[in-house]
Amino acid sequence: MDTRKGRENRENQNTEAMKDVTPQSHSTYDQLKAMLRSRDRSKKIIGTLLFGLPIIVVFVFFGLPSDHGGMSGGSSAARVNRAFISFADFSQEEQRIQKMQEYYAQMFGQPITFDPERQKAMRRQAVESLVQLELLSQATEHENILVSDKEILSFIQDMNEFKKDGQFQPSYYFQLLEANRLSPTTFESKIKKQVQTQRTRQLFESTSRPSQLEVDKLNELSRQQWNIQFVKLDREEQGKKVAVSDAEITEHLAKDEFKKRVNSYFEANRSKYDAPEKVSAQVIIANFTPGNPASEKKAMDKIMDVQTKAATEDFGQLAAKYSDDVGTKNKKGELGYFARGEKEMALENAAFSLEVGKVSAPVKGFTSYQLVKLTDRKAATKAELATVDKKIAAELLGKDKFEILQTQLAESLKSGQVDAVNAALKNMGLSWDETGFFSLDAAQIPKLMEKELKMAALELTPKSTLSKQLVTVRNLHYVLHLKDTKTVELDKNKNESKSMTQQASNQLQDDWIQQFRSTSNVQINPMVLE
């Protein structure tokens, strides 16, 4: 079946969906949202049509197959079937995501703090991004969507980074790779994945072009903007903040059944209360621009010079004078105490391998050379139940109280009364957050990125502004409230057809990768999520 026939089927499906939505029985919002949900359903049908294509068509699109070397790795951040994702790639991806978040926060004038919860989410996003890329690469080869060596070479030759005077320079190419400690094989493997991504996206986009009916209705959606209030309920985290008195703790610990519960929790979560090995260190940092050999050499020369001085001079004074890192420079290089997994890997490995009072050799990070001096070390200690039983009791009682309050909140939602919900939230010590205004045609809702939350949000209306029940995503619960709506003028410069094609193709690709993942062996090193 060709792509034209697939588009006709999809147009017919959306036409039928619109027939079911009449102005007499539904509001304009309901009509538009029904079309949007229908469009989501149609994507799954297109996916079936797409992979019904004969393999010969795939070869016509993408050329003949080429040899593919496997990846290998020792200590890895993740494994996807027989391929390994290195900690170096994981760290680079984590840094890329952090810089992207900083950029958008600055662009929108919003403050951003990298607290432990955000750091953990960022690490999860980084490793998932790399896993998805590897799954995509393997899935394309599984479907015989292959990339030739000639295509990879052509892609590299078109990269401005490797050109001088407008021409690709092989010697400059190898020089830059060597400066970044990349072998041609490793780099070309990464490029191969990029080309595969482009090729599959082109194939998905060829089956995702919208009908005029879809474009017209999406134009209506783009004019409708909503601002949604939401509250996130996290029993594990927010339960810790519920007030529990000393008298309550003493009373419950006197009960055998509750003591057994505390003991069971301690045994199941012993590592949570153990104190890991920690070190205290000072650091001197010389920054360089990645991919710039001259900048890297200048930083290396600087750190070597400081290393010589450190043999006879005070390390803290040298940090205050020479370090490029403002945060530690003003504290004489002091990092304080930290455990494994809390600092950049290169710095961390150096610190934990040193004896107290010793200075490391120059350590290369992703954007700097560093000298590290170990100032103290605290051995790991095992917790005893007697020292943490009251803490555990308070945590368990707090979670119990939170669950009771959460049940009361769920009952308030059934009433549909905003005042009752506000009162329940106040009892829990919680307050509303807001998405800000967004168009109903947005691929994602700001701050509510999960698909389940988007679908729940589309169930709201100006007459029924509260979610009827708690919206559950994994182990978290959400309350949604449509705070405000407005209609804006259509952006004449916005290409809705292109936007719809991109959204539909992205969804198709995501569904395809998830299908391949369900039959794959994906293992993520727990260390990267801690």
Length of the chain: 530
pTM of the model: 0.48
* Rounded-to-integer distance, Cα 482 and Cα 462, Å: 7
User: Where does residue 494 rank: exposed (0-12), middle (13-18), buried (19+ CB within 10 A)?
Assistant: middle
Tokens linked to 471: 């919206």
Tokens linked to 65: 């197959």
What pLDDT is stored for residue 299 in this prediction? 94
What pLDDT is stored for residue 409 in this prediction? 92
Identify the structural domains of the chain with CATH numbers, from first to last. Answer: 58-207+507-529 (1.10.4030.10), 275-378 (3.10.50.40)
* Rounded-to-integer distance, Cα 442 and Cα 496, Å: 11
3-state secondary structure of 374: strand
What pLDDT is stored for residue 19 in this prediction? 36
- Cβ-contact 64, 144 below 8 angstroms: no
Q: Crossing angle for the helix pair 496-517 and 28-50, nearest 10 degrees? A: 50
Residue 19 backbone phi and psi in degrees, to 5: -65, -30
What pLDDT is stored for residue 34 in this prediction? 54
Which of the residues in the chain have pLDDT under 50? Answer: 1-29, 31-33, 35-74
HSE-up (13 A, CA, CB side) for residue 268 = 7
What pLDDT is stored for residue 28 in this prediction? 42
Q: Which residues fall within 8 angstroms of residue 41, CB to CB, at 6 or more apart? A: 13
**Vertex 192 angle, CA 76 and 1, to 5°:** 115
Residues 20-34: tens digit of each pLDDT: 333 333 444 454 445
What pLDDT is stored for residue 35 in this prediction? 45
Task: Return the percent helix, strand and coil in the chain, to nearest 5.
Answer: 55, 15, 30
- Cβ-contact 45, 9 below 8 angstroms: yes
* Rounded-to-integer distance, Cα 64 and Cα 147, Å: 8
- Cβ-contact 304, 362 below 8 angstroms: yes
Residues 451-510: tens digit of each pLDDT: 889 899 989 998 899 999 999 987 889 999 999 999 888 766 665 566 666 777 777 888
What pLDDT is stored for residue 135 in this prediction? 92
Tokens linked to 279: 């070190």
